[in-house]
Structure 1
Amino acid sequence: MTRTPTTDEWGIDATWLDAFDEEHEVDQATIDRLREVIGRPPADLEDRAPIVALPGDALEVDEAEVTLEDGSTRHVDGELDDDFPLGYHWLQAPGGHRRRLIVTPGRCWLPERSWGWAVQLYATRGRDSWGIGDLADLRAVREMAAAQGAGFVLVNPLHAVAPTPRQEASPYLPATRRFRNPIYLRVSEVPGASAVEVDEDAGRALSDGELIDRDAVWARKREVLRRVFDTTGRDDPAFPDWWWHQGQKLQDWATWCALADRHGPDWRAWPEPLQDPRSEDVGRFVAEHERDVAFHAWLQWALQLQLERATEGMTVIQDLPIGVDGGGADAWTWQGVLARGVNVGAPPDAFNGQGQDWGSPPLVPWRLRLTGYEPFVESIRATIAGAGGLRIDHVMGLFRLWWVPAGGTAADGAYVRYPAEDLLGIVALESARARALVVGEDLGTVEEGVREAMAEHGVLSYRLLWFEDDAPAAWPAEAMAAVTTHDLPTVAGLWSGADLAEQREQGTGTDAELERGRTELLGRLTGAPKKAGSGTAVRRAHEALATAPSLLLSATLEDAVADERRPNMPGTTGRPNWSLPLPVPVEDLPQHELLREVARTLADGVRGGGPAAG
């Protein structure tokens, strides 16, 4: 029996279901607090909010003039023509508000069936890397994947963090979802690098440590990059032309970076006149620090050039985090749309009895609608740009998000609803325009109707050997199939018991819970002998995966080299999450025998020939 929660006009659900299908009531104090944060939507919201429609759809207005993206106009009488152009238009009804009309194909672009590698780029270092995997290393992985017959590479979020000395380690808490992290630049390949003296040995020495030291890497890279910019940054006319075409959004980003250099990474702690991006004080700052602002814009240009080389000829699926740092650039630019005094997270569940607080402020749904969905559009478009694929982290957030009021625990939150049909329509439009596939990370507790809506819009589901009760052969076709993710044990770590030992050390569960979980997961490795080595377990897991009929088959580099340590262990603070380098240099990956076997197995699975022989 389906239970539909009562949702008030603020979009807050009065109840929620846990992982055991048990219903809970939200405390009235929580509801009152969230209503205060959200604010009452204006009475004429539905007359001002954008319309998202398909060609041929009936509209909620009898007649209107539509100004198309190309500047031409069309008259509509109650419905759109079947050949109405896709895109972002403006609709004006007689006596009504001017509002955005977003015309979408309704379904995302879908590729041919293929397999590929999931890559934590920061961890995938080469011998010439400066302490961290970079875009030249991504190019090397792409070249390897292409030679093996792969169709895609999936990378961790590449979004930028604050440019300050202390670097945020988590790729899932960026300062922006619209610009990339310059720590991923290969310094020797930026325009003008040959004009300055660069101590490559000192840079390579940053890889000598057991962990990735982002602070040291960024300090070294930034110093050299600034010297390159100061020496040659304005010599190439392509840069100012590119900068001009990026418009206000890049100007805002570069300005925020220059301000963060002087006042710290959290705009909420800056002098009050600088907290408004459009203030006269900000304008004066830009005029006085024009070269500093230009430097941060130039870094984005260099990133664009290197990403184009890294992704040439192959789909690179980029990951979109669920939110941004509340003190970061996107929050500064869109502070009137983001909620203050709350973070997004997850309610208590079978894996985390306390719930989770992810540290990102949510977009207020009605305020987002009144922007014409622009913050969402820009984030989707920028993450897809030039790479051919998008993975949406926690795709359930397009439908509802768990809001956690400040000062309380994650268990004190409530679900707030979002206009999912509109957001999925926008994703489909951006996907179709970029010819980019879209994967939705629908792991964990998934509300009824979410996967059906994803399928309707061509958003691929995400299926894991660790989580599914059914054998891979019974998994859906419109999905990305994998063994594990960055948040879960590697096959080798699970098989050897190293991951269980580390979980015990970190206190992430009781011995009984952990041992039970390990036993259940091992049972999904299709019967490898208990005394077999980790390599055998890796082979068996991917032989099972290769039987899935899913559109995309994905394997992690960690599994392919039998690494025992997962990139991230949720709920831990003393562990070096997101800072563990891959134990095999990128140059040696093509010759790694186990990796080659995994590649052959998945390639045979895609070709329909079944798993490769040992």
Structure 2
Amino acid sequence: MSDTPQQVVQQDWTDADDQPQRVPDATVERVLAVMGEPPADLERTAPLVTRRGRRTGLAGEVRLEDGGSARLDDVVPDDLPFGYHVLVPDDDAPERRLVVSPGRCWVPPEQRWGWAVQLYAARSAGSAGVGDLADLRALREWTESLGGGFLVVNPLHAVAPVLPLEASPYLPATRRFRNPVYLHVDEAPAVPVDGIDRDTAWTHKLRVLREAFTARDDDTAFDAWRADVGRPLEEFATWMVLAQEHGGDWHEWPAELHDPHGDAVRRLAEERADDVTFHAWLQWLLSEQLREATGDLTVVQDLPIGVSGGGADAWAWQGVMADGITVGCPPDALNSVGQDWGSPPFVPWRLRAADYEPFVQSVRATIAGAGGLRIDHVMGLFRLWWIPQGAGPQEGCYVRYPADDLLDIVCLESHRAEAVVVGEDLGTVEDGVTEALAERGILSYRVLWFEDDDPATWPAGSLATVTTHDLPTVTGLWNGSDVDDQLASSDQAEADVRAGADHLRAQLQRDGLADDASAQEAVAAAYAQLGRAPSLLLSFSLEDAVGEQRRPNVPGTTPQERDNWSVPLPVPVGDLADHPGPAALLRAAGVGPAAQREPLHG
């Protein structure tokens, strides 16, 4: 793609209702001013992302990432290793990164089913009020005992270590490191049963973990891991120390601390070396506990569309992200007024100039240790809806990204980790996206609530589900409580909310579910439909399995309006095996231990 700002800003576009739209000139001018101009030599220095057998128009020596060397003469050789190399051109042009991708993601060999879980909500008596990695292990073992092949979990990325902790998993401080609130500690205090209290859990765990850190003996394994992760870990751990002292938004810190590579930050890291080591040690514990929790089961981790503008990644990658811009989406079927997700976007040309390293690190770190990746709003790899500061979601515009490069990087990371990749392609999806995902083996999303076609006709290259964290549970939809929840907490028009619910009920009744059916019968009807899908991954909502009425999140609402991301499962993890709901759901879908005895798969 060209990096000329005027060419990446999409002034004319088509909305979710197939209506042409034109962005006002004033909005385009604001976006262009933020974007800035790329250097004149960018096309000679930016990374080249390619595949074996492709022409490059270049020749030179290749320094392989494993320390070896190879020759490039225009066409990429079939034996050139996949990976991140350095091309030294023959014509004395600057060295540049050479990324060789397989062009396709790793794909499971056969259909699998699994549970979709909000980990923080999946609590047990020993998890200090927030579902943790020990609970994930229990969920994994339970799923394996039922014949399941994967779990899908919410983003587990770190937030600022200041109270109140950020509740949204989709607005993390970083996409490279994990949230220590998910660490399991042996001491568990009494906790409330009606909500998720992250602040109490973190305060308690911080004390216990600091005591364990002080009392530790052998650091050999940690030291080796720390050295391997390298500079990104040191930057993040330093940011955590600074955030504890000065707050979670680096813009509000003393000016001398704004530069992560400056003298003031270096001196502080030296003076507070023990604290920096503590936060690095927490990340090591997280990697160890996650590895033990996932075992051999695929756990699909979620990659949010962005990060907090005041967080660790935004601090480390200043100049690559757009100041004064947040991303979201225009009005669509998910939300009639559009959405602002609060995250600053990468400037496309600046991301290329950074060798795509921020994107590579984010994808690799999220896949690590679990074997699966769900890319939130995968359309953002093609274009993102930029919203200038002070404007509403309806007043944004689309900015295009180097999608071919980004997708091929995803393929390379998937290939290396043997990780399945799912692209969440809901909302306003432009032409060509579905085909580009399918060509690379990235599974699309198929949600019963949004599909007019019978699940039996859905593509095999997809993840099939009834609902998502932003949509009603079956029970909440069927008994009307979800409509009440939306009207009480959001500013959406009542007519739109009720019309949307009526449409979803019609989808649910595709097989003739009676109007006076029970909630349990409605859940069975939904998953009997889903069981007909040939999709490679069949994802079953744990909220639906246990009859939860409330969805995890109502988009567009604030913490003052609704306790998003804080709704606990009504059934403790340890009691799931004895609860009738999960077994009934699996029977309806035609999978699990009883599938052969009760073949409901249509």
TM-score range, shorter chain: over 0.9
1:323 to 291, 299, 306: 306
User: Higher mean Cα deviation, 400-409 or 591-600?
Assistant: 591-600
Instruction: State whether residues 431 and 437 of structure 1, in contact with CA within 8 Å, keep that contact through their aligned partners in structure 2.
Output: yes
Separation of aligned partners in 2, 1:563 and 1:355: 27
Separation of aligned partners in 1, 2:5 and 2:218: 57
Shift, 1:113, TM fit: 1.3
What does the per-residue CA deviation read over 1:538-581, in whole Å, with 9 as the maximum and x for residues that have no partner? 01110110000110000110000011111111122211000011
After superposing on structure 2, the runs of 4+ consecutive aligned residues of structure 1 that deviate more than 6 Å are 605-610
Q: 1:284 to 1:109 in 2, by over 3 A?
A: same
Write the letter of the residue equivalent to 1:92: V
- 1:527 counterpart = 2:523: no
2:245 to 255, 262, 272: 262
Q: For 1:216, what is the secondary structure of its paired residue?
A: helix
Q: For 2:115, what is the secondary structure of its paired residue?
A: strand
1:596 to 556, 575, 583: 583
1:581 to 553, 568, 571: 568
Alignment of 1:61-140 (within 5 A): 61=58, 63-93=59-89, 94-111=91-108, 112-140=110-138
Alignment of 1:139-288 (within 5 A): 139-188=137-186, 200=187, 203-206=188-191, 208-232=192-216, 235-288=218-271
Structure 1: state its 5+ residue gaps.
1-5, 189-199
Aligned Cα root-mean-square deviation (Å): 1.8
Separation of aligned partners in 1, 2:256 and 2:460: 54
Separation of aligned partners in 2, 1:528 and 1:354: 32
User: Higher mean Cα deviation, 318-327 or 240-249?
Assistant: 240-249
Q: For 1:64, what is the secondary structure of its paired residue?
A: strand
- 1:550 counterpart = 2:547: no
Shift, 1:473, TM fit: 0.3
Instruction: State whether residues 150 and 603 of structure 1, in contact with CA within 8 Å, keep that contact through their aligned partners in structure 2.
Output: no
User: Higher mean Cα deviation, 430-439 or 43-52?
Assistant: 43-52
- 1:559 counterpart = 2:547: no
1:502 to 469, 473, 485: 485
Separation of aligned partners in 1, 2:312 and 2:498: 43
Write the letter of the residue equivalent to 2:128: W
Instruction: State whether residues 5 and 37 of structure 2, in contact with CA within 8 Å, keep that contact through their aligned partners in structure 1.
Output: no
Shift, 1:211, TM fit: 1.0
User: Higher mean Cα deviation, 496-505 or 147-156?
Assistant: 496-505
1:12 to 9, 14, 20: 9
- TM (norm. structure 2) is 0.96
Shift, 1:23, TM fit: 1.4
**Number of residues of Structure 1 aligned to a counterpart in Structure 2:** 593
1:343 corresponding residue in structure 2: 326
Instruction: State whether residues 64 and 77 of structure 1, in contact with CA within 8 Å, keep that contact through their aligned partners in structure 2.
Output: yes
Write the letter of the residue equivalent to 2:98: L
Shift, 1:348, TM fit: 2.6
Shift, 1:521, TM fit: 1.1
Instruction: State whether residues 7 and 13 of structure 1, in contact with CA within 8 Å, keep that contact through their aligned partners in structure 2.
Output: no
1:193 corresponding residue in structure 2: none
1:449 to 432, 448, 455: 432
Instruction: State whether residues 5 and 36 of structure 2, in contact with CA within 8 Å, keep that contact through their aligned partners in structure 1.
Output: no
Q: 1:516 to 1:354 in 2, by over 3 A?
A: closer
Q: 1:503 to 1:47 in 2, by over 3 A?
A: same
What does the per-residue CA deviation read over 1:47-104, in whole Å, with 9 as the maximum and x for residues that have no partner? 111111111111121x211111111111211111112110000011122111100000
2:457 corresponding residue in structure 1: 474
Shift, 1:594, TM fit: 1.7
Alignment of 1:16-95 (within 5 A): 16-61=13-58, 63-93=59-89, 94-95=91-92
Shift, 1:350, TM fit: 4.6
- TM (norm. structure 1) is 0.94
Instruction: State whether residues 149 and 603 of structure 1, in contact with CA within 8 Å, keep that contact through their aligned partners in structure 2.
Output: no
Write the letter of the residue equivalent to 1:80: V
1:612 corresponding residue in structure 2: 600
Separation of aligned partners in 2, 1:613 and 1:16: 41
What does the per-residue CA deviation read over 1:215-269, in whole Å, with 9 as the maximum and x for residues that have no partner? 111111111111111222x533211222111100100010000111111111111
Instruction: State whether residues 16 and 429 of structure 2, in contact with CA within 8 Å, keep that contact through their aligned partners in structure 1.
Output: no
Shift, 1:602, TM fit: 3.7
Shift, 1:381, TM fit: 0.3
Separation of aligned partners in 1, 2:415 and 2:533: 26
Separation of aligned partners in 1, 2:420 and 2:556: 31
Separation of aligned partners in 2, 1:291 and 1:142: 35
Q: 1:515 to 1:365 in 2, by over 3 A?
A: same
Separation of aligned partners in 1, 2:365 and 2:390: 33
Separation of aligned partners in 2, 1:581 and 1:518: 23
Write the letter of the residue equivalent to 1:502: D
Q: 1:531 to 1:377 in 2, by over 3 A?
A: same
1:391 corresponding residue in structure 2: 374
Shift, 1:612, TM fit: 3.4
Separation of aligned partners in 2, 1:514 and 1:134: 34
Separation of aligned partners in 1, 2:520 and 2:346: 45
Separation of aligned partners in 2, 1:65 and 1:537: 63
